Amino acid sequence: MKFVNIEHHCRFEFEGGGFCKEPREGEALFCFFHDSNLPKHTPEMRERISQAIQAKKRLEGAHLEGVDLSRANLESAWLVRAHLDKANLERAHLEGARLYGASFRDANLFNANLRGANLKECDMEGANLLEVKLDRAKILGVHWGKHGMVQSELEGRHLEYTGDFRKAKVKFREAEEIYRNICLHLTAAGLLSEVGTFFYREMVSRRKQKPFFSVDRVSSKMIDILCGYGEKTFRVFLSAFGVVLAFSLIYFFAGLRYAEKIVAYDRGQSASQNLHEYFLSFYFSLVTFTTLGYGDIIPMHVTRLIAGIEAFFGAFMIAFFVLVFSRKLTR
């Protein structure tokens, strides 16, 4: 920000060049809109801000922290990089507004109308985004929340941690609705690479509404671990490796047949010999999982049933990986 010695005029310089033409507020260096130290909570100040926006004044970089503009008509407002942290914009009309780079941290945007607004690079962390209308809005690069989580989910997690499961369920239901709305508008905007993040968070929020240890919640958690609801392909690799590793340990202690020799852990063998036996068990587990079945090592007794179970897991997980990968690729 640069300063010029212009008497009686605001010293705020716009990013693209030029200075704010509003008069200074008293002895301050900035005008009413750009003075960060001036509170704007009274009804008179709300009316002054609303009139300035309706008059199409350029309020780029304006400090409007905590202002109550609920239900206000702010259509086509010029609020590029404005500071609207903790502002109340419930049901406000911001259709077609220029909000590029604006900060809405902890703001209340419940049911706000942002149709056609430019929200690129906006900071929405901590904002209430329930029922916000985003049709045709430009939402590239919006920061929706910490770790991609909206405020409702964060509040739900806190309530769940403190044991208030009834209120937590309400918050998770809100979060699910918000994520679904974001996914819908990201898809409409062609930002398909970002859809997966919010679809994943939507599914997590849906899972957390179910009772602890219920079949639905446990099975949903298993799908999350296995593949992140189809959004985390690397988890399929990790899950597959975990299955191969687990079955290899079973074979190592239960025993396999290799030619005329039994492959198994033997306390009487040296560590290097047992390590060699384990590598053979791991090899057998790997070829069984992938259903290659070379036949050089064969199961015996109980390991026959175990090998059949692993082959089933392997066929399922390989098919599942192809499905998940294809889904990500075609998106």
Tell me if 61 sits within 8 A of 14, measured CB to CB. yes
SS3 5: coil
Q: Is the pLDDT of residue 285 over 90?
A: yes
Q: What pTM does this model have?
A: 0.79
| Weakest-pLDDT range from 11-15, 60-64, 211-215 | 11-15
Name the amino acid, one letter, at 273. Q
Q: Does domain 43-212 fall into CATH 2.160.20.80? A: yes
H/E segment holding residue 169: helix 165-188
The more confident residue out of 294 and 110 is 110
The structural domains of the chain, with segments of one domain joined by +, span 1-38, 43-212, 232-330
Residue 324: name the closest of 223, 204, 236, 194 by CA.
236
| Weakest-pLDDT range from 69-83, 150-164, 249-263 | 249-263
Mean pLDDT of 288-308: 87
For residue 187, give the DSSP letter.
H
Q: Is the pLDDT of residue 3 over 80?
A: no
- The arrangement of secondary structure in 232-330, i.e. its CATH architecture, is Orthogonal Bundle (1.10)
The more confident residue out of 152 and 301 is 152
pLDDT mean across residues, the chain: 89
Torsion of CA 290, 291, 294, 299, to 10 degrees: 110
Mean pLDDT of 115-119: 95
